[in-house]
Amino acid sequence: MNNDKTVIIADDHETLVMYLSILMRRMGFTVIPARNGEEVLQLLETILPDLIITDRKMPVVDGLTTLKTIKSNPRLADIPVIMVSAYFEQEAFDQCMELGGAGFLTKPINIHELHLLLQKDLSYPNNRQRKSLRVSYGRKVMVEHEGQQKKYYAVTLSEQGIYFRTQNPLPIGAKMQIHLEINSGEFLTTQGAVIYHKSLSNDINKLDPGMAIKFNAFSTPHADALKAHIVELLAGDLMDEQPEPVIVTQSAPAQPLQKTLAEVKQQWNLV
C-alpha cells in the first residue's frame, strides 16, 4: 500500500518533533513540523493534512484549543487529531474525546500504540486501512521463482508483504520464495505471490515501477521475528541516540484507554 499521507506534528519539544518526524517518514508519511497550535492553524489555511498529532500543552495556542478550533471549522473537521500528553489525566482525555479527538497518547510515544491509532484513523482508496507496520527498506532481497534465483531491490517492507522495484515484474499470481536477512547472516524464508504491478505510466510520482508481493501466513515465531525486524529498522538507531526517551518500542498489552476509546466517543455522540 502506498501511504502518500501528510501529517502535521506539533510540539514545542524539539527532540520529540525530530524523532517522531523521522519515525513517521520511515513509515511513509510526509511530515510538516509545527511548534504550537498557532502554527498548526496557520498551516491549515493552505494545506489539508491527513492527520495531526499535537501536544496538549504548548505555548501561544495549546492542543485542546487547537482541536476545538479545527473541529468547529467545517473545512477541517474531518481531519483526525491525535493528542499527546506527558502523562494521562482523565479530565484531559475526556475533553479530547468531547471535542472530537481521534486518540490520546502519552509520552514517551509507544510505536505499537501509535500504529493502532493509525490503523483506526486513516483510510485509503477502496476503503482499505493501514493493517500492518511498514518501513522503507532499500535493500536487495533474494527471490526464488520456478527454479531461478534473482535479487530484487525492495522499496518497502511490511508485516504482510514487500514491494520490489523492477521494470519486468513477474505475472500476477506468480509464486515465489523470499529470503529476508533479518540479522547479519540470519535469514527468514517465506512464500509469497505477486498481487499487483505498478508501471512507469501509472502513479509515476507516487511509487516506483515494480511488483507487490503478499506473504503467505507465517508461523507465530516467524511473524514475531519479522515484526521485531521492522521495528528495529523503524527506530533501532533512534532508540540508541535519543538523549531522553521520547519514543519506545516495547510492545505492550492493550490499555483500557484504547479499549474504551470507541465507547467514550459514542458517549460524547462522536460516532
Residue 104 falls inside a structural domain = yes
Q: Is residue 228 part of a domain?
A: no
| Whole-angstrom distance, CA of residue 209 vs CA of residue 250 | 35
Is residue 126 very low, low, confident or very high in pLDDT (cuts 50, 70, 90)? low
**Rounded mean pLDDT of 244-269?**
57
Calculate ∠ Cα 137-120-227, nearest 5°.
Answer: 35
| CB atoms inside a 10 Å sphere around CB 52 | 28
Say how many CA atoms lie within 13 Å of 43 toward its Cβ: 21
The pLDDT tens digits of the residues spanning 135-181 come to 999 999 999 999 999 999 999 999 999 999 999 999 999 999 999 99
Position 46 pLDDT exceeds 80: yes
* CA torsion through residues 22, 24, 28, 30, sign: negative
Collect contacts of 98-105 with beta carbons under 8 A, ≥24 apart. 98/268, 98/270, 99/64, 99/67, 99/68, 99/71, 100/67, 100/71, 100/270, 101/67, 103/258, 103/261, 104/257, 104/261
Compute the average pLDDT of residues 182-189: 87
Closest among 200, 233, 223 to 28, alpha carbons compared: 233
Residues 209 and 247 grouped into a single domain: no
Cis amide prior to 169 (ω within 30 degrees): no
- For residue 206, what pLDDT is reported? 60
Residue 222, in any domain of the structure? no
In the chain, the number of structural domains is: 2
Q: What is the Cα–Cα distance from 35 to 40, expressed in whole angstroms?
A: 8
Q: State the Cα–Cα distance between residues 199 and 28, nearest whole angstrom.
A: 20
* pTM, full prediction: 0.82
Rounded CA separation 266/167 (Å): 49
Are both 113 and 246 inside the same structural domain? yes
Lowest mean pLDDT among 16-20, 61-65, 117-121, 138-142: 117-121
Domain span holding position 204: 134-217
What is the average pLDDT score of the chain? 87
CA dist., res. 194 & res. 176, Å (int): 8
Residue 233 falls within a domain, yes or no? no
**Given this model, what pLDDT does residue 271 score?**
40
Q: Are residues 189 and 148 in the same domain?
A: yes
The average pLDDT across 113-128 equals 81
Residues 157 and 170 reside in one and the same domain: yes
**Amino acid 122: pLDDT:** 86
The pLDDT, as a whole number, for residue 264 is: 43
129 pLDDT band, cuts 50/70/90, is low
- Output the domain CATH number for residue 140: 2.40.10.220
Q: Which residues contact 208 (CB under 8 A, 6 or more apart)?
A: 155, 165, 198
Residue 203 has pLDDT above 60, yes or no: no
For residues 158 and 96, membership in a common domain is answered with no
**For residue 31, what pLDDT is reported?**
97
Helices (H) and strands (E) in the chain, counts: 8, 15
Same domain, 17 and 145: no
Q: Residue 49 has which C-alpha cell?
A: 493534512
The predicted pLDDT at position 127 comes to 60
